[in-house]
Amino acid sequence: MEKILFMNCSPNKEGNTYQIGEELLKGKEHEILYMVDYKISHYGQVTSDDQIKDIFNKIKDFETLVIGAPVYWYTVGGLLKTFIDRLYMLPEAEILRGKKLYLFAQGSGPDSDTEKSITFLANRLSTLMGMELKGVVVDSSDGRKIVNNMSID
């Protein structure tokens, strides 16, 4: 099984989320999955061009997921949130079980409630999906806090 998959959940493929994730993973073998390259239908509105199963197919080969998202409106951006919504009642989501999860979110200046709610989300997500949460950091877009406080095994 391959080791690290960086799931870039920003619509800006080479924006701040990408830059921070790449700095965090410097020197570590990893692949990048750009969530914006996939069509993820909204929960309850799944269309025939939905590609969530392609995402599961990619994820299944990795032991560790590093999820990076921008902060939009005081929480994680919609690309990640829509993906998380879809995990509900989807049998394929079982492939997440046992994987290690690191989650970071960055914004132009997330407040402490944003930090608390994203940390809570990461904890609940990992518990409910049977993943091992190894780290969660919320930071402003310079990313120092993320790079300095998240050490990836």
CB 147 to ligand FMN: min, Å: 14
CB 128 to ligand FMN: min, Å: 25
CB 19 to ligand FMN: min, Å: 8
* Three-state secondary structure string covering the chain: CEEEEEEECCCCCCCHHHHHHHHHCCCCCEEEEEHHHCCCCCCCCCCCCCCHHHHHHHHCCEEEEEEEEEEECCEECHHHHHHHHHHCCCHHHHHHCCCEEEEEEEECCCCHHHHHHHHHHHHHHHHHHCCEEEEEEEEECCCHHHHHHCCCC
If the CB atoms of residues 110 and 135 are measured against ligand FMN, the closer one turns out to be: 110
If the CB atoms of residues 107 and 135 are measured against ligand FMN, the closer one turns out to be: 107
If the CB atoms of residues 4 and 35 are measured against ligand FMN, the closer one turns out to be: 35
Residue type, 80: L
CB 143 to ligand FMN: min, Å: 9
If the CB atoms of residues 11 and 92 are measured against ligand FMN, the closer one turns out to be: 11
Residues binding ligand FMN (CB under 6 A): 10, 12, 15-17, 70-74, 106-110, 141
